Chain A
Amino acid sequence: MSIEQEQQLLKGLAVNDKKAIETIYRDNYSMVQLFVLNNTGTADDARDIFQEAMIVLFEKACSGTFELNCQLKTYIYSVCRRLWLKKLNQMQRFSGQVESLEETVPVEEETEVHEKRNADFAMMEHAMSKIGEPCKSLLDAYYVKKKPMQEIAADFGYTNADNAKTQKYKCLMRLKKLFFAQYKNGQ
């Protein structure tokens, strides 16, 4: 695969293109599965690890500044390898010797950044689950689904967009409070 094609794939990834996701899976999954199976993992583990790596890649692709300085395949392999080693370590199953079939590039920094983002994601998810309805749906409609305020007001039965907006900010302030409460605890 040429560099242009790989860049194209990453662009597709950033806009949630299913075709791009599928192509990356088809080209790389078997390699990762083989690695995990050869290192005391199961097929389920391989799928989890690969998904995680896809999210790392997605975050990178979205940042816009990402430049691949090696083959995509090598990058994915390196990330998966790093993630799996980390997981083995956590489960204290790490036997010291990990069989490596492909060349790797250093990705410690990336996985560390991802871990931090992952933790933030979990906090936000937790905060979201705690604010209750209708706040959750309201924020979801505005910030996640990016619906216009007018439509939201109609959907949720507010008399006008301004009312919906006020309600949205009230919800947002609660979410923020919940989020930062955890965030400060975690620091």
Chain B
Amino acid sequence: MEEILLLDAIERYSRHEMTADEKIFFEEMRKNNPEVDLLAVEHGFFLQELEHYSAVTAFKHSLAEAELTLAEEGLFNEPVVKGKAKLVQLWSKYKRTVAIAACIAGFVSLISGGLIIGFNSKYANKDYSELIREMNETKAKVKAVEIKVESNKVVPIPRRVPIFPKASFGATAFLLDTKGYFVTNYHVTDRLKNIIYIENNKGEYFQAIPVYVNKEADLSILKIIDTSFKFNGVIPYSIKKSSAELGERAFTLGYPRNEIVYSEGYLSAKSGNDGDSTAYQFNVSVNHGNSGGPVLNNNGELIAVITAKNEDADGVTFASKSKNIYTLIEGLKKSDTAFKNLRTPSGTSLKGLDRVQQIKKLEDFVFMVVGN
């Protein structure tokens, strides 16, 4: 208790809140009592450090916000690559993507009629388990409740899917561009037979189609085709181009249930199943339905996309590297000029926030994918 009084005195003294008498008394005490003097010096130093900490924290937050504005302006865009060597390098990289994409496109169109699902898995080893969720539930019950709520609303809400058929699978997707572009796994869109929907956290469904896929990286880009889809807000994460570090802390959000679920862990290997260089291995606990979930680091940079887990080992999860997303986008843009206007989020406003606040900002950008 005495120490508390003393600390209070020191703080008031340093803020010049003391009366003249108090000040004289306090200075006298410091002079006569070396212990008090030592504590005052130590506490003064500590307060300075705390002051510095709070100032820099606030400044970092302003920096992140300013960066977001500037990213919108395109300040961080890389200059166009010059020089023949780089061009050749780029071309060869891109050629491969096109070749793969063409193969896949052909492959998909040929087999979409009806091959069994297990056959399409990226790996044959039976402990490699893709994290798509099998569903056999009608959404009708949910619909009934929604309509009641809807009748109270004054504002016209986007058109709903009139009758929702039985969903046979569910997974996770996250927003790539607020114009209606999402990223999920290839093995998710590969299950598409009739229709695929993106469901937002208000329970509204929007029909989507895969516009670009890459089986090797196990990624797909989905685009919502419902014109009623509108999204306000700025994507709070950036997608990391460089590779993540071993041991980096990471967390993910996804839909293994009908509700968003959080999980965290760390990057445990720089390659995926069987040395797969397009993926990372994380130690994080995920379940069926987490497929397509974004994996972010502490700075709010998206570093990977959940794809699969090892059924025989606890917490061993595989995720496609974030730089694959850029390869996908490049391919998509070349495939059709209609996609030229796609823009990737380049700023993160999650830096410096604690986890709970990060999740609050993030959860509106992570969606459930369902379909049959």
A29 touches B75 (CB 8 A): yes
Find out whether the CB atom of B241 lies under 8 angstroms from the CB atom of A42: yes
- The answer to whether B52 touches A47 (Cβ under 8 A) is no
From B57, which residue of chain A is reached at the shortest CB distance?
A: A144
Q: Which residues of A contact B55 (CB under 8 A)?
A: 58, 62
Is A176 interfacial (CB 8 A cutoff)?
Answer: yes
A143 touching B50, Cβ below 8 Å:
yes
Do A54 and B63 contact each other (CB < 8 Å), given the known contacts A42-B241, A121-B56, A176-B46?
A: yes
A180 and B66 alpha carbons, distance in the complex (Å): 34
Would you call A37 and B78 a contact (CB within 8 A)? yes
- Residue A100 at the B interface, CB < 8 A? no
Task: Report A156-187 CB contacts with B as 1/0, cut-off 8 Å.
Answer: 00000000011001101101100110000000
Taking CB atoms, residues of chain B closer than 8 Å to A117 are 52
* Given contact pairs A18-B65, A42-B242, A165-B8, A26 touches B75 in the complex (Cβ within 8 A): yes
B50 touches A22 (CB 8 A): no
Chain B residue nearest in CB terms to A58 = B59
Quote the shortest CB–CB distance from A134 to chain B (angstroms).
14
User: Of residues A22, A33, A42, which shows the largest number of chain B Cβ atoms within 10 Å of its Cβ?
Assistant: A22
**A45 on the B face (CB < 8 A):** yes
Per the 8 Å Cβ criterion, residues 1-48 of A in contact with B are 16, 18, 21-22, 25-26, 29-30, 33-34, 37, 42-45, 47
Chain B 230-246 against A: per-residue CB contact (8 Å), 1 yes, 0 no?
A: 00000000001110000
A47–B58 contact, CB under 8 A?
no
Chain B contact residue count (CB 8 A cutoff): 33
CA–CA, A42 and B53, complex, Å: 29
Chain B, 230-274, CB within 8 A of any chain A CB: 240-242
Contact A120 to B65, CB < 8 A, known contacts A25-B70, A43-B78, A62-B55: no
Interface string of B211-235 (1 = CB under 8 A from A): 0000000000000000000000000
The answer, yes or no, to whether A153 is at the interface (CB within 8 Å) is no
List residues of chain A with CB within 8 A of the CB of B241.
Answer: 42-44
Residues of A within 8 A of B78 (CB): 33, 37, 43
Cβ contacts under 8 Å, A179 to chain B: 46, 49
Residue of A nearest to B352 (CB): A125
B66 and A124 form a contact (CB under 8 A):
no
Is the CB of A154 closer than 8 A to any CB of chain B? no
B7 and A172 within 8 A (CB): yes
Q: Is residue B91 contacting chain A, with contact meaning CB distance below 8 A?
A: no
State whether A16 and B4 are in contact (beta carbons under 8 Å apart), knowing that A21-B66, A44-B242, A120-B52 are contacts in the complex.
Answer: no
Distance A53 CA – B225 CA, assembled complex (angstroms)? 44
Residue of B58, B59, B67 with most partner-chain A CB within 10 A: B59
CB contacts under 8 Å to B, within A45-72, are: 45, 47, 51, 54-55, 58-59, 62
Selected from B50, B51, B53, B60, the residue in CB contact (under 8 A) with A55 is: B60
Q: A37-B78, A43-B78, A120-B52 are in contact. Are A16 and B242 (CB under 8 A)?
A: no
Size of the chain A interface, CB-CB below 8 angstroms: 40
Among B31-46, those with CB < 8 Å from A are 42-43, 46
Q: Please determine whether B7 and A16 come into contact, CB atoms closer than 8 angstroms.
A: no
Task: Check if B336 is an interface residue, CB within 8 A of chain A.
Answer: no
Does B14 make an interface contact (CB < 8 A)? Answer: no
Q: Contact: A170 with B242, CB < 8 Å?
A: no
Q: With contacts A172-B7, A173-B7 known, is A120 near B49, CB below 8 A?
A: yes
Q: Which residues of A contact B49 (CB under 8 A)?
A: 120, 124, 179
Known: A165-B8, A176-B46. 18 other contacts (CB 8 A): A16-B62, A21-B66, A22-B69, A25-B70, A25-B75, A29-B75, A33-B79, A43-B241, A44-B241, A44-B242, A51-B60, A58-B55, A120-B52, A143-B50, A143-B54, A144-B53, A169-B8, A173-B4
| 27 contacting pairs across A/B (C-beta < 8 A) | A18-B62, A21-B62, A25-B66, A25-B67, A29-B75, A30-B75, A33-B79, A37-B78, A42-B241, A43-B76, A47-B76, A51-B60, A51-B63, A58-B55, A58-B56, A59-B52, A59-B56, A120-B52, A124-B53, A125-B53, A143-B51, A166-B4, A169-B7, A170-B4, A173-B7, A175-B50, A179-B49
Q: Interface on A for B, CB 8 Å cutoff? A: 16, 18, 21-22, 25-26, 29-30, 33-34, 37, 42-45, 47, 51, 54-55, 58-59, 62, 117, 120-121, 124-125, 128, 143-144, 165-166, 169-170, 172-173, 175-176, 179-180
3 closest cross-chain pairs (CB), A and B: A144-B54, A124-B53, A21-B66
